[in-house]
Structure 1
Amino acid sequence: MANTPQAKKRIRRNERRAEVNTARMSRIRTHLKKVESAVAEGDKQAATDALKAAQPELARGVSRGVLHKNTASRKMSRLSKRVAAL
């Protein structure tokens, strides 16, 4: 159990940050799923639009620190390749 004021504040702050980061990751995953479903349906136009919407979300995740730069890059590359293959 936290005894010092700093430790108590750190616990409160960590809970708030975890909540925000969970929401951010959920938003990113939703965008990625939209691209995946459009690719699965074979709808190139919808997949392209969804990919364009997902790119800034991934970049924002990197800048906010919820995703590693290489992870976002890898996801973007794989999705781009799948959309281009349609």
Structure 2
Amino acid sequence: MESGSPFPREGVTVRVVTYAEVVARLRARVTEAGSQKAFARAAGLHGPDLCQVLRGRAAPSERQCNAVGVERALVMRDVAPAGEAVPCS
């Protein structure tokens, strides 16, 4: 993404991923690196925190997401008063 712009560059595909997908990417990178310790060191992550995420005891941090090419984004859902429809755009 371009610096200062909340929108991706032309030709860049953006999709929504789940925490489970982030954990799967983390596991793949750990396998490629040979160990959790090696991956954590190479990615600049705290090893014990990575372990907690891989065991399902914690959600991936922003830094862990970034290490596997995932950016966090805020999503707002408009909630209409009862009986009113919210237009999709």
TM range (shorter): under 0.3
Q: Which has the higher helix share?
A: 1
Higher relative contact order (CA 8 A, sep 6+): 1
With structure 2 as the length reference, what TM-score do the two structures score?
0.26
